[in-house]
Amino acid sequence: MPSAGCVQPVQDRLDGPRRGTEGDGDLVVAVAAQPSHDDVALSRAEVKRVLEAYLVSRAALVLAPRLGPSTASWKAVRNLREVLQGIKPGSIGDRAEYCVNSVDQALGYATGRYFVNEAFPGDSKKKGTKVITGA
């Protein structure tokens, strides 16, 4: 995943258990220490670095699943989702179902128009209205 240039300042403030190291394919897990009152006030530069890191991580989490399963980014996000969502490790769903769900989530109701036009051609609306109203 892309580096935001703010890993070191954040790691300097971390305390507690860590798992993995950068570059070995594992997720790095760390527990932040309780901040003192001096640490709460961030400088403008620190706020920019934190915001940049947040935006980069959000973009990576959203876009990585759209990459191929052989990429490191896809594997890292997949591993995270397996742990957080309790998915059986290594189980990958049907690709066609994934694609349909992705389009449905992205476009939603708008894609229904194409289904309706295909499934109910011509004067189907008039016939349906006639059946409902009885006229």
Q: How far apart are CA 109 and CA 54, in angstroms?
A: 30
Question: pLDDT digits over 93-123, tens only?
Answer: 777 887 888 888 888 788 778 888 888 887 8
Q: How many CB atoms sit inside 10 A of residue 99's CB? A: 10
Is the pLDDT assigned to residue 10 strictly greater than 70? Answer: no
Listed in sequence order, the residues at least 6 apart from 3 whose beta carbon sits closer than 8 Å to its beta carbon are none
- Containing 14, the helix (H) or strand (E) segment is strand 14-19
Work out the average pLDDT over 11-34: 50
Question: pLDDT digits over 68-96, tens only?
Answer: 888 998 899 989 988 998 888 878 777 78
**Three-state SS for 30?**
strand
Question: How much of the chain exceeds pLDDT 90, in percent?
Answer: 8
